[in-house]
Structure 1
Amino acid sequence: MPSATTSYGRYPYSALPDRPVFDWPNGTRLAVYVALNIETFSFDSHTGAKLAPGKQDQPDVLNHAWREWGNRVGVWRMKDVFDALDLPLAVLPNTAVYEDCPGLVEAFRARGDEIVAHGRTNAEEQGVLAEPEERALIRQASEAYRRHEGRVPAGWLGPWISQSAVTPDLLEEEGYTYLLDWCHDDQPTMMRTRSGTGIVSVPYSHEINDIPQITARYTSAESFADMIVAQFDEMLEASARAPAVMSIALHPYLTGQPYRLRALRRALTHIAAHRNEIWLTRPGAIAEAFIEDVRARVA
């Protein structure tokens, strides 16, 4: 009997206990990466996370300035923490950041961090567009990354996790090898695309993510740090039975705030102290390792 529910159709069901057990490239079972979202917003729009309700009939000075603080101040304080702990990063800048915040992406590029595509600006969503317009948006963003980074990034995260029904197809056709929009698994998943090539979904948490925790659930700085530590400890223990990916998603205007940064430093220090037991890496390396594993299994 057919299911009563509709299916996304990009990947089949897979029960975690039925999967092969494998090691990551450095012989460990838990891959951990930190994703730093660097975003920019239009002053004349009312899109974006909010510190307080904005007035729809006036410029949203409060919330726009609050988010701007993240790119002017918070992100640099966070960088100091990442530098002190020698943490690799996945940096996800909108392409507008190159023009709006000169020198910002370049500072993280100099660290050797992976640049992951994050659309043109978080003042728009791609999932509402018709296919030709969405293709044009992806292509325009790709050209900007190519111009600044010398190549198109391997991965993509849509602003606001916005996807249409054909987004994975368009990304794969534009040359992307992985996406971060899906949180349906703790291991990478190969998603079907219409070309037959496929695109990798690398896990990206919306639980260990400061936007939903802080702006929607009003989680305190200390509680968010405790969540990161608890998630890490539990996943490290469970990874002996089933290899996994843990991600930490951050935004400078939130966790760059000094009182939150102090708590975040505590959580990241805990993870860094276990660096010999985990693969402290970036999502691009995770996608590459997964693709090599799939090829080996097929061979």
Structure 2
Amino acid sequence: MRLPEHRRYAHSAIPTRPVYDWPGGKRLALLVVNNIEHFAFRAGLGSDSTGLNAVQNQRPYAWRDYGNRVGLWNLLDLLDELEIPSAHNVNSAALETCPEIAPALRARGDEFIGHGRTNSERQDGLWEEDERRLIEESRDILAHHAGVAPRGWLGPYIAQSPHTPDLLREAGFTYVMDWPADDQPFWMETRAGRLLSVPYSVEINDSPALIARHHSGREFADMVEDQFRELLEQSEKRPMVCSVVLHPFILGQPHRLRPFRAAMRRILEHREHLWIARPGELADYVATLPGGVVP
């Protein structure tokens, strides 16, 4: 029996791969990635604090808007306090609507990652030329606000069409985070050349954990710490990536910040064993490794 295939990457079991180090001889890379999103009012898609299948009225819109008005600034203060470099998956509409965001990210030296125009829409149902326009429009607006074009991409709702990797590579993107298939990076094939998949967790991710599965902020903090401690042990054998995924309208709520801060402080007691990096820095490093080291 032959099942449908994506033909983007070949199978590779992690124990069979070459072993390498991250910069400084470290074996565990820690990525803290935040999502900055903007939504249409009473239209399109958007999550709801009460669960899935949101009705698009003023209440869930305002709850999500809390992220750009308050939650993001709570998170940036926390990242500053803990001295954590970060990256942000940014809807281009958020930068156009909220003029304070881009200067704050640039002041931190953080990375802007393409995240579509708005999380009120998905790209996986578009015609190829419409999706191309979405990618290029998002790229160009981020480049204007960041001063440099983004090199990484995460689709709204982590969704792709069959053409997305090709379109991203043709638009100048060099890595993607839409394929949660591994705890190490791996190369993908496109019609314009190779594209790196950087690990991005859908497990250690506050949106599915807290909204879809209704975990508490304290349970999510425990998940973050458990993931980290297990990967730290596994990294004695091979290089690993621990990604922590946040949304300001979710984790930026004060009652969730408190247990998360405590968990991150305990994690950072191991700072000497970590490469705390932004995804673009990880992608740049992987590109310097000899061919065949990364599958």
- Corresponding position of 2:42: 44
Q: Residue 267 of structure 1: CA displacement? A: 1.4
Whole-Å Cα distance in 1 between the matches of residues 41 and 205 of structure 2?
25
Q: What are the residue-to-residue correspondences of 1:1-299 with 2, within 5 Å?
A: 3-52=1-50, 56=55, 60-195=57-192, 197-295=193-291
Distance 1:282 1:272 in 2: 16
Where 2:99 maps in the other structure, the secondary structure is coil
TM-score when normalising by structure 1: 0.94
Inter-CA distance 216–125: structure 2 relative to 1 (3 Å threshold): same
Structure 1 residues 136-157: Cα deviation after superposition (integer angstroms, max 9, x where no partner): 1111111112222222111011
Call closer, same or farther: CA 1:128–1:46 in 2, change over 3 Å.
closer
Contact conserved, 1:32 with 1:278, CA < 8 A, in 2? Answer: yes
Q: Letter of the 1:29 partner, please give it.
A: R
Q: Distance in 2 between matches of 1:83 and 1:273?
A: 16
- One-letter amino acid of the counterpart of residue 99, structure 1: E
**Would the alpha carbon gap of residues 266 and 244 (structure 1) be closer, same or farther in structure 2, given more than 3 Å must change?**
same
Which string of whole-angstrom CA distances, capped at 9 and with x for unpartnered residues, describes residues 120-148 of structure 1?
11111111101111111111111112222
> How far apart, CA to CA, are the structure 1 residues paired with 2:251 and 2:134?
29
Structure 1 pair 236/55, CA: closer, same or farther in 2 (3 Å)? closer
Retained in 1: the 8 A contact 2:111–2:280?
yes
Q: Distance in 2 between matches of 1:95 and 1:276?
A: 36
- Per-residue deviation, residues 26-66 of structure 1 (Å, max 9, x unmatched): 2111101100101000003151111137885xx61110000
Matches of 2:267 and 2:24, distance apart in 1? 17
Report the TM-score when normalising by structure 2: 0.95
Q: Residue 155 of structure 1 aligns to which amino acid in structure 2?
A: G
Residue 12 of structure 1 and its aligned partner are, at CA, apart by: 0.4
Alpha carbons 1:97, 1:105 under 8 Å: kept = no
CA deviations over 1:152-207 (Å, ceiling 9, x no partner): 11101111111100100000000000001110011111000012x21000000000
2: CA distance, partners of 1:37 / 1:271:
21
- Provide structure 1 residue ranges, at least 5 long, that are not aligned to the other structure: none
* 2:73 partner letter: W
**Structure 2 unmatched runs, 5+:** none
8 A contact 2:174–2:196 mirrored in 1: yes
Aligned-pair distance for 1:79? 1.2
- Distance in 2, Cα, partners of 1:30 & 1:8: 29
Q: Percent identity?
A: 46
Secondary structure at 1:276 match in 2: helix
Q: How far does residue 294 in structure 1 lie from its aligned partner after superposition?
A: 4.0
The alignment covers a number of residue pairs equal to 293
Amino acid at match of 2:223: M
Q: CA deviation at 1:295?
A: 4.1
Cα RMSD (Å): 1.6
The secondary structure found in structure 1 opposite 2:196 is strand
Equivalent AA in structure 2 for residue 67 of structure 1: R
State the Cα distance separating 1:240 from its structure 2 match.
1.1
**1:292–1:149: structure 2 CA closer, same or farther, 3 Å change rule?**
same
Alignment-mate amino acid for residue 63 of structure 1: P
Kept in 1, the 8 Å contact 2:54–2:60? The answer is: no
- The separation in 2 between residues aligned to 1:9 and 1:148, in whole angstroms, is 35
